Structure 1
Amino acid sequence: MPFDFVPDPVRRRRSARGLANYHAGHAAEAAVARHYEGIGIPICARNWRGSGGEIDLIGRNGDEVIFVEVKYSRTHDLAASHITPAQIARIFTTVDEFLGGEPRGLLTDVRIDLALVDGMGRIEVVENAFAG
């Protein structure tokens, strides 16, 4: 006997929250892209996916390639706390993969920025955030 599945209220709330977070994340990425373009750094790729992960934004400043990881949360501090060591490793792997297609390969000038967006839409960019 067939039956209709009706999700429980908790599942619906989680689903709605997940959808809201998804849209907020994309809006944050769009705002950060406008920020970079506003300071003269054109964005050449959004959500570039390699075999090891995804880079939110990729810009070019002359010969330098700028990779941008965007994090959104209520506050900048909370947004920064969402980046994990595993994520950083995936970012580096994906950057290396992208650079494999560049004329100078791994010798390309690179910067990896972390763009933090708070609940008010304010953007804080940490340039070269993962430099050791």
Structure 2
Amino acid sequence: MIAASTQHAGREGEAEAFEHLRRQGLKLVCKNWRCKGGELDLVMLDGDTVVFVEVRARRHTTWGGAVESVDGRKQQKLILAATSFLQQEPRWAKHPCRFDVVAINTGSEPASRLNWIRNAFET
């Protein structure tokens, strides 16, 4: 089970990522969408593109940073969750889609702590 402090940090990271993306003009479709195969942290619209956003927050980089934590296995889980989302929400299925990662290194200075990677991986 995930520790309460880890869950709290995750929620804070998602809120920070959401605010950053909102300021960049993206619009929220939904947060924390769950299915049998996983969860999508944020689903947003960038123009007409559906953006599946994975938010990763890390305090330190001992075992790799936030970006490195979105490995091939995690990418496959996100792709399956996004596929389920598009099947259950068919109004978005005809839109172009992409996967973004917002990596937050909470131990960094505020100016360098958030890294938004657009089109972080291909399906």
TM-score scaled to structure 2, two decimals?
0.83
Instruction: Decide which of 98, 104, 115 is 2:102's aligned counterpart.
Output: 115
TM-score, length basis structure 1: 0.78
Rounded Cα–Cα distance in structure 1 between residues aligned with 2:78 and 2:68: 16
Q: Structure 1 residues 24, 97: CA separation in 2 closer, same or farther (over 3 Å shift)?
A: same
| Bigger Rg over Cα | 1
C-alpha separation between the residues in 2 aligned to 1:82 and 1:62?
28
Distance 2:9 2:68 in 1: 17
- The percent of aligned pairs where both chains have the same amino acid is 28
1:80 aligns with 67
**Structure 1 residue ranges (4+ consecutive) displaced by more than 6 angstroms after TM superposition:** none
Gaps in structure 1 of 5+ consecutive residues:
1-14
Structure 1, 23-32 or 70-79: larger mean CA deviation? 70-79
2: CA distance, partners of 1:25 / 1:95: 20
Equivalent position of 1:99 in the other structure:
86
Between Structure 1 and Structure 2, which shows a larger proportion of strand residues? 2
The answer for unaligned runs of 5 or more in structure 2 is none
1:96-123 C-alpha deviation (Å, 9 max, x unpaired): 1111223362x42001001000114521
Q: What secondary structure, in the 3-state scheme, does the structure 2 residue paired with 1:36 have?
A: helix
- The equivalences for 1:46-57 within 5 A come to 46-57=31-42
Q: Residues 51 and 74 (structure 1 numbering): CA distance in 2 closer, same or farther, change over 3 Å?
A: same
Indicate the RMSD between aligned Cα atoms, in angstroms: 2.1
C-alpha distance 20-62 of structure 1, shift in aligned 2 (>3 A): same
User: 111, 117, 122: which one pairs with 1:126?
Assistant: 117
- Residue by residue, what CA displacement relative to the aligned partner does 1:79-106 show, whole Å, maximum 9, x if unpaired? 122223222111000111111223362x
**Equivalent residue, structure 1, for 2:15:** 30
Equivalent residues of 2:50, 2:92 under 8 A apart: no
> How many pairs align?
116
